[in-house]
Amino acid sequence: MAQNKRNRSSITQPIRLVDYFNKTSKFIDPLESWKVLGIYRLAAQIHLLRKAGFNIITHKKPVINQWNETVTVGNYELKSAPTIWNP
């Protein structure tokens, strides 16, 4: 049963992410990914989409952490998608 759940989420997370890119400004960072899409490991999903032919650019985004320090996170931008994608 756990295996079925794992396979389902490994398919639905990239679909959710592509849907989000298509419906918004095409930018997402890890915190927004977690809050809005429930995707904790955003970079892993970005990697899968890039392997599938998506052109996704990584921008550096400065953010303030809980200790009031400036840190940098990836802010991903969808530039283009493959004409055919079969998740």
Residue 4: phi and psi, rounded to 5, are -60, -40
Query: What residue ranges do the domains of the chain occupy?
Result: 2-80
- Per-residue tokens: 9: 């989420």
**Assigned CATH topology for domain 2-80:** Arc Repressor Mutant, subunit A (1.10.10)
The pLDDT of residue 58 is 97
- Per-residue tokens: 45: 């999903």
Please state, as a whole number, how many other Cβ atoms lie within 10 Å of the Cβ of residue 52.
Answer: 15
Q: Is the pTM of this model over 0.75?
A: yes
The pLDDT of residue 9 is 55
Helix (H) or strand (E) holding 44: helix 42-51
Angle at 66 between CA 45 and CA 71, to 5 degrees: 55
- What digits encode the pLDDT tens for the residues 11-66? 789 999 999 998 987 899 999 999 999 999 999 999 999 999 999 999 999 999 99
